[in-house]
Amino acid sequence: MNHGSTHHTPPDGVPAIELRGASKTFRTPSGVPHTAVRDLDLAVARGEFVAVVGPTGCGKSTTLTLVSGLEEPTEGEVLVGGEPVGGIRPEVGFVFQQDAVFPWRTVLSNVMAGPRFRGAPKAEARERARDWLARVGLAAFADRYPHQLSGGQRKRVALAQTFVNDPAILLMDEPFSALDVQTRALMSDELLELWGGAGTGTAASVVFVTHDLEEAIALADKVVVMTAGPATVKQVFPVDLPRPRKVEDVRLQPRFVDLYREIWSCLGEEVRITRERGAARVA
């Protein structure tokens, strides 16, 4: 459903997101430069769900930050809809590990905030917010405050808050990692349902960063394995599991197990390198 938001539709064949030889070097407080991302090439097609996995601290979040426009690459290019990213764009939605809810506002008011900020009249914003709260199963919680909700419910508010803006691009940084295992699986299924699926023509292009390889395979059309930091793409694995998927079922399929084994042998090596570096630093 498009509520007249500024959906940026790139011409056919142009990736929704593209990083070309992107590098990011930070200046640290000590003055020593730190390269978090190096020479990274990645393309996300329109409506594609891409999961990014890599060892801790390798540069996954920094990659998302570049796509979001919050940071600029030191070298290379970052394109959204074929255009260089210049700052934060209205068609990009975010979901992070920590919920970005206003604690002093009710659930309904939190979900209305995005459309209001984008100029929707109050009545329309309220109607859209109620619609999305119903879709995430929180119709009865509209008047509560965030601290009166469970972790899973707060995450649903965050999803409603994001999807209500009808994002063309969805950037997710370990959104479910603070939840217990059962709630996580449930939220993954709900996310897939809200997203709508590849090939529908209306689904958002998603970049989903996670530590959890099972979660990555269950959700994504392709899994991108990053190297130990500085992050660059080590290998990309297409996930040829049929949709619609239910994560608990898909995990039991022989193809899932094969993919897991194959991708883990690639990722495990980078995790080991990262651990050994850590151990060398401690020693």
> Which residue in the set 5, 23, 62, 165 belongs to the binding site for ligand ATP (CB under 6 A)?
62
Stretch (H or E) spanning 238: strand 233-238
In the complex with ligand ATP, which residue's Cβ is closer, 60 or 184?
A: 60
Minimum Å gap between C-beta 114 and ligand ATP is 25
Which residues, 6 or more positions from 37, have their beta carbon under 8 angstroms from its beta carbon? 22, 23, 24, 59, 62, 63, 66, 73, 230, 231, 232
Task: Give the Cα separation of 72 and 53 in Å (integer).
Answer: 22
Peptide bond preceding 90: is omega within 30 degrees of 0, i.e. cis? no
Minimum Å gap between C-beta 56 and ligand ATP is 4
Binding mask 18-57 for ligand ATP (x = CB under 6 A): --------x-x-----x-x-----------------x-xx
Cβ(111)–Cβ(156) below 8 Å: no
In the complex with ligand ATP, which residue's Cβ is closer, 14 or 271?
A: 271
Residues 223-242 that bind ligand ATP (CB under 6 A): 229
> Which residue in the set 19, 22, 38, 61 belongs to the binding site for ligand ATP (CB under 6 A)?
61
3-class DSSP state of 160: helix
Task: Give the Cα separation of 21 and 36 in Å (integer).
Answer: 13
Minimum Å gap between C-beta 138 and ligand ATP is 28
Minimum Å gap between C-beta 67 and ligand ATP is 12
Minimum Å gap between C-beta 96 and ligand ATP is 11
Residues 81-100 that bind ligand ATP (CB under 6 A): none
In the complex with ligand ATP, which residue's Cβ is closer, 35 or 183?
A: 35
- In order, the DSSP letters of 14-47 are S-SEEEEEEEEEEEPTTS-EEEEEEEEEEEE-TT
Stretch (H or E) spanning 110: helix 107-117
Interface ranges with ligand ATP (CB under 6 A) = 26, 28, 34, 36, 54, 56-62, 229
